[in-house]
Amino acid sequence: MEVVKPVKRNVLLNPGPATTSDAVKYAQVVPDICPRENEFVEVMDEVRKELVNVVHADPEKYTAVLFTGSGTIIQDVLVNSLVPEGKKICVVNNGAYSSRMVEIAQYYQIPCVNLEFPTTGLPDLKVVKDALEKDKDIAVVATTHHETGTGVLNPVREIGQMAHDNGCVFVADTISTYGLLPIDIEKENIDFCMSSAQKGLCGMTGVSWTVGKIDEIVKSKDYPKRSYYCNLFMQYDFFERVGEMHFTPPVQVLYALQQAIREYKEEGEQARYERLTQCWEAIHHGLDEIGLGTVIDKDIQGHLVVTVKAPEDERFDFFKLHDYCYERGFTIYPGKMFGLETFRLCNLGLITSKDIEDFFVVAKEAFGAMGFTLPIK
Ligand SMILES: *Cc1c(COP(=O)(O)O)cnc(C)c1O
């Protein structure tokens, strides 16, 4: 597509929104259109079909249902729509995003078994197995694929298997892995995965979706209707009958997503995974050079987020580091761990290992400006 003029490029190392291409930014500049026109329904059709393809789902069994909103809206939709009357949801919880699903269940007063594990490691699968075998009222098991708060990659395949062995539906929050790590939805035992346009696909914020099992969506028609705007079956049914969202879609955001998906396909699933892994290795390399430690074992990280231990030194000031880098086009992000001073470097976007190297040149200067001699001892 034709690009009008380049926009200043920022390297976003925060956990989403991610750095996007100019073509994605400019895809939003379209003639005004009513989204009820066929021309727009075709955009919606293409996007829905491709979203199913990204996770290699069989279109006979799975479908994509989109909602207007940031990623949390689709967590909300799945938690409030998939639990039958009198049944429970069980959340395998080792981080902030699983905790959010627990909170959503609480807001809707849905009985919730909150299996909490330390945020620095993997959940204990024996505990999960026992909990599911003991409590036959659990109908839905949910967890986060990649805990964006820490960088831990969870064993969704094993958890999904346990869910299925106990007759439960398995929901995986793949918001930060979808379009970044190769995911084969059936092999991973996932009934419902989810994502949001501003994460791995590198689109614009404003639309989120699930790719989920059609027969489970149809069953949910008879479950309690706990939300009006955020009901899964209602939205699915409208898509099936009319080909679009029940209420006004974020029109321009969908044009951007259509372009972002085309770029995803052009790059290829494996090439994207390799590029982001190179970025992640470059982050570890740069941290070693500065003398900064990390919190999560490297072999349980998802190659997307590195949680960095802040130096225990009064000269260190996260905001000084942030501002110094921000002024030079690099955005870093505070940590999300209790009781430990950390910050995060994330590589979800359209960036390369060269960008990471450039970032570390700036970061080293910032440490120098704070009075450190590198490497920090
Ligand atoms: C980003 C993200 C979300 C949703 O966050 P929003 O701020 O609502 O977009 C949910 N789960 C995970 C794992 C995420 O990375």
Model pLDDT for residues 39-90, shown as the tens digit of each residue: 999 999 999 999 999 999 999 999 999 999 999 999 999 999 999 999 999 9
362 and 231 in one domain?
A: no
Give me the mean pLDDT over the 289-317 stretch: 96
327 and 250 in one domain?
A: no
- Establish if 139 belongs to a structural domain: yes
Residue ending a domain, choose from 265, 287, 302: 265
143, 98 in Cβ contact below 8 A?
A: yes
- Establish if 233 belongs to a structural domain: yes
Looking at residue 246, its amino acid is H
pLDDT at residue 314 tops 90: yes
CA of 6 to the centre of ligand 1 (A): 28
Q: Which of 12, 14, 68, 70 to mutate to test the pocket of ligand 1 (most atoms within 8 A of CB)?
A: 70
Confidence band, pLDDT 50/70/90 cuts, at residue 353:
very high
- Establish if 15 belongs to a structural domain: no
- Establish if 6 belongs to a structural domain: no
155 and 85 in one domain?
A: yes
- Establish if 231 belongs to a structural domain: yes
211 and 180 in one domain?
A: yes
Q: Is 26 in the pocket of ligand 1 (CB under 6 A)?
A: no
pLDDT at residue 4 tops 80: no
List the Cα angle 111/113/116 in 5-degree steps: 145
pLDDT at residue 287 tops 70: yes
Report the nearest atom of ligand 1 relative to the CA of 75.
Answer: 10
46 and 77 in one domain?
A: yes
Instruction: Kindly state the percentage of the chain with pLDDT values over 70.
Output: 99
Centre a 10 Å sphere on the Cβ of residue 53 and count the other Cβ atoms it contains. Answer: 15
pLDDT tens, residue by residue, 123-132: 999 999 999 9
Q: Which of 175, 177, 180, 183 to mutate to test the pocket of ligand 1 (most atoms within 8 A of CB)?
A: 175
Average pLDDT, the chain: 97
Q: Which two tokens stand for residue 320?
A: 């000084």
Q: Is 70 in the pocket of ligand 1 (CB under 6 A)?
A: yes
Q: Is 173 in the pocket of ligand 1 (CB under 6 A)?
A: yes
Tell the residue nearest (CA) to atom 4 of ligand 1. 71
Q: Determine the Cα–Cα distance for residues 7 and 21; give it in Å rounded to an integer.
A: 9
CA of 374 to the centre of ligand 1 (A): 35
- Establish if 5 belongs to a structural domain: no
Q: Is 99 in the pocket of ligand 1 (CB under 6 A)?
A: no
Tell me what pLDDT residue 3 has: 60
Contacts for 44 with CB less than 8 Å, ≥ 6 apart: 66, 243, 244, 245, 249, 254
Q: Determine the Cα–Cα distance for residues 93 and 109; give it in Å rounded to an integer.
A: 18
Distances (CA, A) of 274 to 216, 262, 266, 345: 34, 18, 14, 18
End-to-end CA distance of the chain: 50
Residue ending a domain, choose from 265, 293, 312: 265
Q: Determine the Cα–Cα distance for residues 252 and 257; give it in Å rounded to an integer.
A: 9
**Helix or strand (DSSP H, E) at 81:** helix 71-81
258, 48 in Cβ contact below 8 A?
A: no
Place of tokens 């994502």: 195
Tell me what pLDDT residue 6 has: 84
Tell the residue nearest (CA) to atom 15 of ligand 1. 176
pLDDT tens, residue by residue, 257-267: 999 999 999 99
- Establish if 87 belongs to a structural domain: yes
pLDDT tens, residue by residue, 291-300: 999 999 999 9
CATH number of the domain enclosing 362: 3.90.1150.10
Q: Determine the Cα–Cα distance for residues 318 and 310; give it in Å rounded to an integer.
A: 8
Place of tokens 């994509």: 64
Q: Determine the Cα–Cα distance for residues 311 and 290; give it in Å rounded to an integer.
A: 11
105 and 78 in one domain?
A: yes
**Helix or strand (DSSP H, E) at 114:** strand 112-116
Tell me what pLDDT residue 193 has: 98
- Establish if 374 belongs to a structural domain: no
Instruction: Kindly state the percentage of the chain with pLDDT values over 90.
Output: 97
Q: Which of 176, 198, 346 to mutate to test the pocket of ligand 1 (most atoms within 8 A of CB)?
A: 176
pLDDT tens, residue by residue, 133-189: 999 999 999 999 999 999 999 999 999 999 999 999 999 999 999 999 999 999 999
Lowest pLDDT segment from 94-108, 131-145, 189-203, 328-342: 328-342
Tell me what pLDDT residue 339 has: 79
Residue ending a domain, choose from 265, 287, 307: 265
Task: Provide the domain limits for residue 335.
Answer: 269-369
Place of tokens 């100019």: 22
Q: Is 175 in the pocket of ligand 1 (CB under 6 A)?
A: yes
Q: Is 114 in the pocket of ligand 1 (CB under 6 A)?
A: no
Q: Determine the Cα–Cα distance for residues 286 and 361; give it in Å rounded to an integer.
A: 9
44, 198 in Cβ contact below 8 A?
A: no
CA of 198 to the centre of ligand 1 (A): 10
CATH number of the domain enclosing 250: 3.40.640.10
127 and 87 in one domain?
A: yes
Tell the residue nearest (CA) to atom 12 of ligand 1. 175
CA of 174 to the centre of ligand 1 (A): 9
Lowest pLDDT segment from 1-15, 113-127, 229-243, 253-267: 1-15
Question: Alpha-carbon torsion 304, 309, 315, 317, what sign?
Answer: positive
CA of 141 to the centre of ligand 1 (A): 18
Q: Which two tokens stand for residue 374?
A: 């590198």
Q: Is 2 helix (H, G, I), strand (E, B) or coil?
A: coil
Number of domains forming the structure of the chain: 2
Lowest pLDDT segment from 9-13, 88-92, 143-147, 337-341: 337-341
User: Among candidates 171, 169, 121, 119, which has minimal Cα distance to 145?
Assistant: 171
Tell me what pLDDT residue 340 has: 85
138 and 99 in one domain?
A: yes
Q: Is 16 in the pocket of ligand 1 (CB under 6 A)?
A: yes
Tell me what pLDDT residue 123 has: 98
223 and 154 in one domain?
A: yes
pLDDT at residue 1 tops 70: no
Tell me what pLDDT residue 336 has: 78
Q: Is 159 helix (H, G, I), strand (E, B) or coil?
A: helix
CA of 146 to the centre of ligand 1 (A): 10
95 and 49 in one domain?
A: yes
Give me the mean pLDDT over the 20-39 stretch: 96
| DSSP label at residue 110 | -
Lowest pLDDT segment from 209-223, 309-323, 328-342: 328-342
Q: Which two tokens stand for residue 334?
A: 């505070």
226 and 130 in one domain?
A: yes
Buried b (16+ CB within 10 A) or exposed e, 366-376: bbeeeebeeee
31 and 142 in one domain?
A: yes
Report the nearest atom of ligand 1 relative to the CA of 146.
Answer: 13
